[in-house]
Amino acid sequence: MSLFDKNTILVVTTLLLLALFKNLSVDSSEGHQESDHDYVMAGSAVAKQMFACDFEIFGRVQGVFFRKHTADMAKRLEVRGWCMNTRDGTVKGHLEAPLIKLTEMKNWLQNNTIPNAKITKAEFSPIQEIKDYTSTSFEIKR
């Protein structure tokens, strides 16, 4: 048997096993009854932890709808806070969200592809845990 034949058999076997396990997990869940321990993470303190940080974005970020795109992305990620233009030509703001969403928003702010915008630097304050939101949504301050 050639090497190609052995690799083909390995791939087909793997796919068949994956299909088999997928069917087994679907069948085994049919008789599953929900219990309180199924939702431990959702009701835990970890799921409710909120974090916040401030940011300032430098570069060509005014007059290119940077704040609008930022607010749209924040709303998509369910991040609360605000952003505003500064007299220095930057955009400053405040973010509040669970850590994973806050991190996604920070990454987007640093690496977004807004037409005509050019980010030269993005600064963020240290992320701090907060007890609760201070904003009800994400808004553009004028």
User: Is residue 57 exposed (0-12), middle (13-18) or buried (19+ Cβ within 10 Å)?
Assistant: buried
Overall pTM > 0.75: no
Given the residues 80, 85, 87, 107, select the one marked as catalytic.
Answer: 85
In angstroms, the CA 75 to CA 137 distance is: 8
Catalytic status, residue 142: no
Residue appearing with tokens 């640093």: 110
pLDDT at 25: 41
Catalytic status, residue 67: yes
Model pLDDT for residues 87-141, shown as the tens digit of each residue: 999 999 999 999 999 999 999 999 988 999 999 999 999 999 999 999 999 999 9
Given the residues 23, 60, 67, 87, select the one marked as catalytic.
Answer: 67
